[in-house]
Structure 1
């Protein structure tokens, strides 16, 4: 397996771009089907993926490589969501779009050839925030059923007060404090929105009943501490969770050709496979 942005994009069995007609409006999605799965077989598990980019940047193309390796590694369909970006679409528009896209996948499972009982959400950075928030909204609405959340260096606390967010700003490839404020100002409609748990999931008072999670953090990432704190709070609420910090790594490292990016992608896809099929790692894997 290669790092998500190293060299040519990893081949998958099929990539389809389409428009999903959702309760939040029409959304562009890109659907990846993995190699190594016979056509016409039983429905596949599915991962709804949200790209990073500070809610302002990023699209289906920027995270195409990561979506491909997740699909092949997890042996699942990946539905990557092109949610509306700020500042034209401020909070809560991206949140509502993310939840609507996830509901659309579950509601159209037969057409998509996926198993809605094996549905996970995933995302990196701002996309990790949306994955966590969609899990919160699905719990509140009691639909759709989300069985797992993969949070890759997620952005979870807009107060911007913890150690890593303040001490690593402008260092190790992290954006500056001014840039942090710039992205927040573009995303939030009101200053007080930063205290809303649908913006800052770390501030959600009750995390019980949320899906099991893998939280990936990086030693020199400004978002490190909030991801790890969220993992601790999930564990305290009785949610099965693994938090793994990758020493020496930086923000967005999964999209770089680092050795530890390959390790982290392997860990992420193993966690997804274990949710989709607890005996998966006893089965032969794809070439």
Structure 2
């Protein structure tokens, strides 16, 4: 780790009291919510040291998400095994990482699993950048987690990632048995752009009449590519993820403006939400995406879908990937794991 990165990591891991004292009397508040003091410090640090968007490159953005994961991901949770593999989906390969949690000797039989799609604005992110989060979800839920390295833009624009998500699901259902998984106890999930892919996947599965997941985990998901929700203005600058950067991601992902209205890019713009799997939607209070994430939850609820929403008022976008900095990251992972246990492992304590 470079000296500069080590210093940045150390500055982000000081005791809570340091940040509370640093911002005493000048904590940021909006919409009746107060920004976590550590989050305020990290947001200011990123704004001061990050690459200006006018100078940003795709390669630089990709390196940055990997660096943040290494600095703030926290210690890795122990599992029974973690294996990398390539799967054949229609003549092309997708890389996956399969996480198996430790289980009691009496826990025989096929296991439940979560198919997970990482975030990163559709242009960045990897199996490595979300390794800690996937490990934690597996360890705490008791379900296997299969993380998918879908194709990224701008090399592969919309709908390549969406097609990969459906292909990965079809593969998982067809190969569950040989991997020791129960095809009747499969869930899908993702964060940010990965949350978008998970939401779109559930709609695509319903449209195709395929075997459906029993649950969807949507972590601060992108649900409307037009970015017209009020939170894109209210929280659009100064809170790690900016509205301007979201547009930059979108412009690399979508090839044509009319694609913003396609439900496969903007699942909130679908006309029918009935019959979709039960969901947990997790949002952050100081996130440009909070309104569209919670609007998607409302659309599901209005269609009769079982839905739970957990908002972390003082947090910023991406906080669940930074448990080395944020205590709320652990709490959010616990919430997600508990929901997965309830849906997939109902006979387990906490389910």
Answer whether TM exceeds 0.5 for this pair.
Answer: yes
| Aligned ranges 1:62-141 → 2 under 5 Å | 62-141=129-208
Aligned to 2:282, which of 198, 205, 216?
216
> What SS does the aligned partner of 2:340 have?
helix
The 2-side partners of 1:167 and 1:70 are apart by 31
The answer to whether the 8 A contact 1:253-1:261 is kept is yes
Aligned match of 2:296: 230
The answer to whether the 8 A contact 2:142-2:345 is kept is no
Structure 1 residue 176 displacement after superposition = 4.1
Matched, 1:261 2:319: no
The answer to whether the 8 A contact 2:157-2:255 is kept is yes
Structure 2 runs not aligned, ≥5 long = 1-68
The count of aligned residue pairs is: 279
Displacement over 6 Å in runs of 4+? none
Deviation larger for 165-174 or 245-254: 165-174
Cα deviations across residues 144-167 of structure 1 (Å, max 9, x unaligned)?
A: 321100000001111111111122
Aligned match of 2:251: 185
> What SS does the aligned partner of 1:280 have?
coil
Cα deviations across residues 71-125 of structure 1 (Å, max 9, x unaligned)?
A: 1111011110000000010011100001100111110011111001001001000
| Aligned ranges 1:168-183 → 2 under 5 Å | 168-177=235-244, 179-183=245-249
The answer to whether the 8 A contact 1:24-1:96 is kept is no
Q: Please, what is the CA RMSD of the aligned residues?
A: 1.6
The 2-side partners of 1:95 and 1:266 are apart by 28
The answer to whether the 8 A contact 1:116-1:145 is kept is no
Inter-CA distance 240–215: structure 2 relative to 1 (3 Å threshold): same
The 2-side partners of 1:135 and 1:41 are apart by 29
The 1-side partners of 2:183 and 2:302 are apart by 28
The answer to whether the 8 A contact 2:341-2:350 is kept is no
The 1-side partners of 2:264 and 2:85 are apart by 27
The answer to whether the 8 A contact 1:274-1:281 is kept is no
Aligned to 2:306, which of 236, 240, 243?
240
Q: TM-score, normalised by structure 2?
A: 0.77
Inter-CA distance 282–8: structure 2 relative to 1 (3 Å threshold): closer
Structure 1 runs not aligned, ≥5 long = none
The 1-side partners of 2:82 and 2:240 are apart by 32
Answer 1 or 2: which has greater helix percent: 2
The answer to whether the 8 A contact 1:24-1:100 is kept is no
The 1-side partners of 2:234 and 2:350 are apart by 43
| Aligned ranges 1:152-167 → 2 under 5 Å | 152-167=219-234
| Aligned ranges 1:34-45 → 2 under 5 Å | 34-38=101-105, 41-45=108-112
The 1-side partners of 2:193 and 2:147 are apart by 14
The answer to whether the 8 A contact 1:160-1:166 is kept is no
The answer to whether the 8 A contact 1:156-1:202 is kept is yes
Aligned to 2:341, which of 273, 283, 287?
273
Structure 1 residue 190 displacement after superposition = 1.2
